[in-house]
Amino acid sequence: MEKKSNGRGSEDGSRAATGGLGKLPRGPRDEDHDARWVEARMAAARGAAGMDLPHLGGERVPHAAARGNIEGLTGWAQVPLGLAGPLELDGSAGRRSVYVPMATTEGALVASTSRGMAMLAAGGGAYARVTRSELSQHPMLVYGSVEAALAAAREAKASEERFRGIVAGITAHGALARVETQVLGRRLLLRLLFTTGDAIGINMAAHGAELCSRDLAERTGAVERFVHGQDVEKRANARALVEGRGRSAVADVVVPRPFLIEKARTTPEAMVRVMRTYAVGFAHLGTQNWTIQAANTLSAVFLACGQDVAYVTECATGLLDFDVTDSGDLHASVTLPSLLVGTVGGGSGQGTARECLQILGCEGAGQANTFAEIVAATVLAGDLSLVAAFASHEFVEAHEALGRNRPGT
């Protein structure tokens, strides 16, 4: 059956459209963890990175490299790491084909994500873009009356340039973009929005919020001041879905109907019905996470690439949308408005994290938006595969086959 294009790749949706990577070598299930197969995949990873990857091979990072990341250093945690893909991506930096490192102990996750990436490739690859990049901080000031809080709000807006100068004095990489205010009774909530370059930028933004809120409190006679007055940090919240925080990214694809029927044993209509049922359940839950398994995918990529895994609670906030096109194919899109990711700073610059970013071609400055786009496309792949498994009633069977520890078998 003829494959249809989404208009962004080759007509047959092949990896040749990107000059892409080949399929990762895999052995039979009972031999797939043998040294020869592991080394074959490591060779593919080295080829993708264009360099040796000693830490992924087991070489220990020097203890001193952990300074600033942990206290009471005792050793190094070990989490198994696999490569999903290849992922075909049309991103802001152009088209690329990448293996995506995922660190997890959940059997079937890497295999399922790779299956979803094959769905993306069948549609010519995922189209992904970062639509916004601002990190918010939310200090709160308390005043003696509503009237005083309203006056302080006006002063805060008038002080935007003054606050920019304060922030410029502590960083050469970030900046204060704008100031928003909201009066809650006699309390003034400041929403300070920062640009952060290629880092998450939390420490810089928190420092800036401390200095700006202190300056305003002193000039407006605040009774009390709290730098984390409305603490959205590392928790699910409505602001994360509506306003976004960090990098906001979107990704979509049109998966050809014949591919779903042949390879996933389901149809676009069946997958849309699954999502409609999920929507009823999500509405009843009152959740801000309208994806299927974004937290699964995000935590595995974050662990592999040196991101702060605690941000998964915010980052998994988002929307998954399926529809049947006029030609009978499946249009799928994901919106992740609060991706707190970086390619510099934190744990991204050393050891296995650095090597995994090298595999993605996302190490260092100038790569954070591309990394966020890869993450969004990977989430879309994972959700496509899982919904297809639900629609075909193969989910439990797949986990029985791949996701259970059976020593000796």
Residues of the chain with pLDDT under 50: 1-18, 408-409
Domain span at 258: 15-65+75-132+248-402
Active-site choice (160, 215, 269, 308) = 308
252 and 104 in a common domain: yes
Residues 277, 396: one domain?
yes
Cα(360)–Cα(348) distance, integer angstroms: 13
The whole-angstrom separation of Cα 332 and Cα 226 is: 42
DSSP assignment string, 130-169 = EEEEEEEE--EEE-SSHHHHHHHHHHHHHTHHHHHHHHHT
**Selected catalytic residue, list 173, 207, 228, 399:** 399
Whether 128 and 264 share a structural domain: yes
pLDDT, position 20: 67
277 and 211 in a common domain: no
- Shared-domain flag, residues 309 and 165: no
* Structural domain ending residue among the three candidates 231, 256, 274: 231
Please state the pTM of the whole predicted model. 0.91
Residue 264 belongs to a domain: yes
Residues 274 and 161 in one domain: no
Are 24 and 99 within 8 A, CB to CB? yes
What CATH number is attached to the domain comprising 258?
3.90.770.10
CA 228, CA 207: separation in Å to the nearest integer? 11
Summarised one tens digit per residue, pLDDT across range 94-107 is 999 999 999 999 98
Nearest CA to 331 among 6, 1, 2? Answer: 6
- What are phi and psi for residue 301, nearest 5 degrees? -70, -40
- Give the per-residue pLDDT at 395: 67
Task: State which amino acid sits at residue 240.
Answer: A
Would residue 7 count as lying in a domain?
no
Asked whether residue 262 falls in the same domain as residue 385, the answer is yes
Residue that terminates a domain, selected from 177, 199, 231: 231
At 27 the pLDDT is 86
179: CATH: 3.30.70.420
Answer yes or no: 308 catalytic: yes
12, 55, 106, 155: the catalytic one is 106
Annotated catalytic, 321?
Answer: no
pLDDT at 1: 33
Residue 329: inside a domain, yes or no? yes
Let me know whether 222 and 125 are in one domain: no
Pair 225, 372 in one domain? no
Q: Are residues 147 and 179 in the same domain?
A: yes
Q: What is the pLDDT of residue 30?
A: 81
Query: What's the number of domains the chain is made of?
Result: 2
In a domain, 377, yes or no: yes
- Is 299 in the same domain as 392? yes
Query: Whole-angstrom Cα distance, residue 125 to residue 96?
Result: 9
pLDDT score of 251: 98
314 carries an active-site annotation:
no
User: Is 408 part of any domain?
Assistant: no
